[in-house]
């Protein structure tokens, strides 16, 4: 039986200084994660000339590696208890691993092939996991209030979007399609430096949250409690479906714009517009959540996104303005996807802590991260071979047939719509609202 650590409990609010200091590493972490899903497949297949299906299988291998490392990282994040802090120590140790791996993956050596992609992809993903799991748990435990958590995730995801915009601008502005020292290589250097600097500042400034564990459960019993947490199972299923729905167009965006719309020079600007619009979506998401509740606000945003995105495959080549409007509007709604689910996840962890007495935020966020990566892996591992089956050629000068281009458009937009509709059905009447979460906190802090 373990008693909670001394030092008070999670705050209902934190100062702007602590909020900003906590959110800082989100920018380089985003610039680390996004290229692995959307830019690396295109760079290694188009620029380095690796077979598109083989790139898909290599990245699927990376995700299978995650299936092992994510739960281990979550377990370690909860069970180590050094004086320096269980969240702060693991996060600090992750920074050099993530920095070096990003540098090697985004600046491949001459002659780099599938083995280079697979090995450095796995190490990049490992560094990302070792950073994000304790970092996310750290945030969930810093604030206990239902809407205060949305404030924290809004700040973090705002910095995430800024990092995402950097990840988009640098590669295209400095030459994404150039081998050797390309724009992607410059991004790798930038990510490596900022991870070490910003991450170090966060560890220095932001305090360790109190460990509220009253009873440390054996692994088997802990897994059993997780399996009985019905709000968590419902949320993670919806998150997986929505993550897959977002991951498919993220992976195919560059191909859709260049091959289907025949606007290759607009790939960077349109991607930038999409994520810039998401910045405006974050305060809108927080405002809507206060009016409707977090789960209902998220479900409504997904519904509107489905209606807008369903139009994309019907656009003719050269339809720049209509597709720009689609990018701006769905980007605005992306702010909901980024801000609200992790805030709901913190509430779901309260349900487990109240029932079991074991505060295992790291384990839950590891499962959350694994669901994210598996959804993206399912997209990469399935859609690339599927596109190859329909005869789609990703080469810049390829003369793709009409059926191949239609397959690209349908997979890009209509498959995600179906997946989002399933996620909406799961979340519309989600049982954890503000009243239920407040009752949970009273059980945790009697």
Encode pLDDT of 111-124 as tens digits: 888 889 989 989 99
pLDDT cut 70: percent of the chain above it: 94
What average pLDDT is seen over the chain? 85
Q: What CATH topology corresponds to 16-444?
A: Growth Hormone; Chain: A; (1.20.1250)
Q: For residue 295, which of 237, 340, 353, 228 has the smallest C-alpha distance?
A: 340
Summarize the confidence of residues 413-423 as an average pLDDT.
94
Q: How confident is the model at residue 2 (pLDDT cuts 50, 70, 90)?
A: very low
Q: How confident is the model at residue 12 (pLDDT cuts 50, 70, 90)?
A: low
Q: Measured between alpha carbons, how far is 271 from 22 in angstroms, rounded to an integer?
A: 27
Q: How confident is the model at residue 80 (pLDDT cuts 50, 70, 90)?
A: confident
CB atoms under 10 Å from CB of 33, counted, come to 25
pLDDT 10s digits, 45-61: 878 888 878 887 888 78
Which residues are CB-neighbours of 275 under 8 A, at least 6 positions away? 161, 164, 165, 168, 331, 334
pLDDT 10s digits, 196-218: 999 999 999 998 887 777 777 67
Q: For residue 50, which of 116, 120, 123 has the smallest C-alpha distance?
A: 116
Tokens at 324, concatenated: 């720009």
CB atoms under 10 Å from CB of 389, counted, come to 11
pTM of the model as a whole? 0.77
Summarize the confidence of residues 337-345 as an average pLDDT.
91
More confident residue, 365 or 7: 365
Q: Measured between alpha carbons, how far is 345 from 236 in angstroms, rounded to an integer?
A: 9
How distant is the alpha carbon of residue 27 from its chain centre?
12
pLDDT cut 90: percent of the chain above it: 33
Give the per-residue pLDDT at 33.
80
Give the per-residue pLDDT at 120.
92
The sign of the CA dihedral 19, 24, 25, 29 is: positive
Summarize the confidence of residues 51-73 as an average pLDDT.
81
Q: For residue 21, which of 157, 203, 204, 202 has the smallest C-alpha distance?
A: 202
Residue found under tokens 């297949």: 45
What residues pair up with 446 in beta bridges, in sequence order? none
pLDDT 10s digits, 124-182: 989 998 998 889 888 888 888 888 888 898 999 899 988 988 887 888 777 767 676 88
Q: Measured between alpha carbons, how far is 125 from 102 in angstroms, rounded to an integer?
A: 9
Q: Are 62 and 77 in contact (CB under 8 A)?
A: no
Q: Are 54 and 380 in contact (CB under 8 A)?
A: no
Tokens at 194, concatenated: 């900022």
Q: How confident is the model at residue 321 (pLDDT cuts 50, 70, 90)?
A: very high
Give the per-residue pLDDT at 11.
54
Give the per-residue pLDDT at 446.
54
Q: Measured between alpha carbons, how far is 343 from 366 in angstroms, rounded to an integer?
A: 15
Residues in the chain: 446
Q: For residue 199, which of 155, 142, 135 has the smallest C-alpha distance?
A: 135
Can you give the residue ranges of every domain in the chain? 16-444
Tokens at 346, concatenated: 């913190």
SS3 400: coil
pLDDT exceeds 50 at position 284: yes
């Amino acid at each position: 039986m373990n008693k909670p650590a001394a030092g008070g409990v999670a705050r209902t609010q934190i100062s702007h200084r602590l909020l900003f200091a906590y959110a800082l590493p989100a920018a380089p972490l985003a610039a680390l994660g996004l290229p692995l899903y959307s830019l690396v497949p295109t760079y290694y297949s188009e620029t380095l000339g690796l077979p598109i299906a083989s790139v898909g299988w290599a990245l699927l291998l990376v995700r299978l590696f995650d299936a092992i490392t994510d739960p281990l990282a979550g377990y370690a994040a909860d069970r180590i208890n050094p004086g320096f802090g269980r969240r702060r120590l693991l996060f600090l140790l992750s920074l050099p691993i993530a920095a070096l791996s990003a540098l090697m993956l985004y600046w491949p050596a001459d002659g780099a092939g599938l083995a280079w992609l697979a090995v450095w992809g796995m190490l990049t993903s490992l560094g990302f996991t070792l950073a994000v799991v304790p970092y996310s748990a750290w945030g969930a435990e810093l604030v206990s209030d239902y809407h205060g958590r949305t404030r924290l995730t809004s700040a973090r995801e705002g910095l995430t979007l800024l990092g995402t915009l950097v990840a988009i601008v640098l590669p295209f502005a400095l030459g994404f399609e150039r081998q050797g020292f390309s724009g992607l290589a410059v991004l790798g250097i930038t990510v490596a430096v900022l991870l070490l600097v910003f991450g170090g500042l966060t560890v220095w400034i932001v305090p360790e949250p109190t460990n509220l564990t009253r009873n440390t459960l054996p692994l088997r019993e802990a897994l059993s409690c997780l399996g009985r947490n019905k709000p968590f199972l419902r949320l993670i299923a919806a998150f997986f479906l929505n993550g897959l729905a977002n991951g498919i167009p993220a992976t195919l965006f560059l191909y859709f714009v260049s091959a289907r719309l025949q606007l290759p020079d607009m790939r960077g600007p349109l991607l930038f517009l999409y994520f810039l619009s998401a910045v405006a979506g974050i305060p809108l998401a927080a405002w809507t959540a206060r009016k409707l509740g977090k789960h209902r606000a998220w479900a409504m945003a997904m519904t509107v996104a489905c209606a807008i995105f369903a139009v994309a495959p019907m656009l003719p080549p050269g339809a720049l303005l209509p597709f720009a409007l689609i990018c701006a509007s769905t980007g605005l709604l992306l702010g909901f996807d980024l801000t609200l689910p992790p805030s709901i996840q913190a509430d779901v962890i309260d349900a487990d802590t109240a029932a079991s007495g074991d505060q295992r935020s790291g384990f839950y966020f590891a499962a959350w991260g694994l669901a994210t990566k598996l959804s993206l892996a399912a997209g990469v591992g399935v859609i690339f071979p599927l596109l190859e089956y329909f005869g789609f050629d990703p080469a810049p000068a390829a003369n793709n047939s009409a059926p191949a281009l239609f397959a690209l458009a349908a997979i890009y937009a209509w498959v995600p719509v179906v997946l989002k509709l399933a996620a909406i059905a799961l979340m519309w009447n989600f049982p954890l609202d503000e009243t239920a979460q407040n009752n949970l906190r009273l059980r945790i802090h009697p």
